[in-house]
């Protein structure tokens, strides 16, 4: 059985493919709003950006991927697990949308994507959080992002259902896929 056609891998590809689409749209919007600064290297923005996105996804999706692959088949088919995976999809969409908006606001403020300045945000988090709460309508932004994540999750209901209804791999196949995810995450160190 082709491992990419199994339920855990199809769900993982649905989530990570959606993440890639959000990253691509973020990069496109940032580029289009600052096209004069990109010069002639705008195509490399997408190529290099894709490499970084894939490296990030290799790590960010690793815990989810390992869970999906090691989840017992008896649990996989339960209604509660389907609700859990629907929630996981929605929360992951919210996190990626939040990151995109944060990158946009960061870019608007500093003219660059997340960098060393973002580290200062972590070090001086109380001061930064107070500044953010004073400068932006955080409640409104978070509410809009939550609604958008739910709408996107609803729009993905057919691929979601198809992913969950796909066949489950045998234990050996799941273990090999888990090993593959670990290897990909290790190799992505070269990208980051």
Please give the average per-residue pLDDT across 112-134, as a whole number. Answer: 69
Tokens found for residue 47: 């190529």
Rg (CA), the chain: 19
Give me the residue spans of the domains in the chain: 3-190
The per-residue pLDDT for 158 is 96
Tokens found for residue 140: 């409104």
Gap between the Cα atoms of 102 and 96, Å rounded: 10
Gap between the Cα atoms of 108 and 124, Å rounded: 20
Please give the average per-residue pLDDT across 102-126, as a whole number. Answer: 71
Mean of the per-residue pLDDT values for the chain? 84
Alpha helices in the chain (DSSP H): 7-33, 35-38, 42-60, 62-70, 73-76, 79-110, 116-123, 125-135, 138-155, 157-165, 171-187
More confident call, 6 vs 188: 6
H and E: helices and strands count for the chain: 11, 0
Please give the average per-residue pLDDT across 180-192, as a whole number. Answer: 76
pLDDT digit string, tens, across residues 174-184: 788 788 877 88
Question: pTM score, two decimals?
Answer: 0.83
Among residues 56, 62, 5, the alpha carbon closest in space to that of 26 is found at 56
The per-residue pLDDT for 89 is 96
């Amino acid at each position: 059985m082709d491992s990419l056609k199994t339920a855990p891998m199809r769900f993982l590809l649905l989530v990570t493919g959606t993440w890639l689409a959000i990253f691509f749209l973020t990069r496109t919007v940032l580029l289009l709003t600052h096209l004069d600064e990109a010069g002639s290297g705008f195509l490399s923005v997408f190529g290099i950006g894709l490499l970084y996105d894939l490296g990030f996804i290799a790590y960010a999706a690793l815990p989810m991927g390992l869970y999906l692959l090691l989840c017992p088949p008896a649990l996989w088919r339960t209604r509660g697990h389907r609700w859990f995976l629907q929630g996981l999809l929605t929360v992951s969409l919210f996190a990626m949308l939040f990151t995109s908006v944060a990158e946009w606001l960061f870019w608007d403020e500093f003219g660059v994507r997340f960098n060393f300045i973002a580290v200062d945000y972590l070090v001086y988090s109380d001061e930064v959080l107070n500044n953010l709460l004073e400068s932006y309508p955080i409640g409104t932004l978070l509410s809009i992002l939550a609604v958008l994540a739910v709408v996107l999750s609803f729009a993905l209901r057919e691929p979601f259902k198809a992913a969950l209804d796909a066949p489950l791999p045998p234990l050996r196949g799941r273990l090999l896929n888990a090993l593959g995810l670990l290897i990909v995450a290790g190799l992505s160190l070269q990208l980051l």
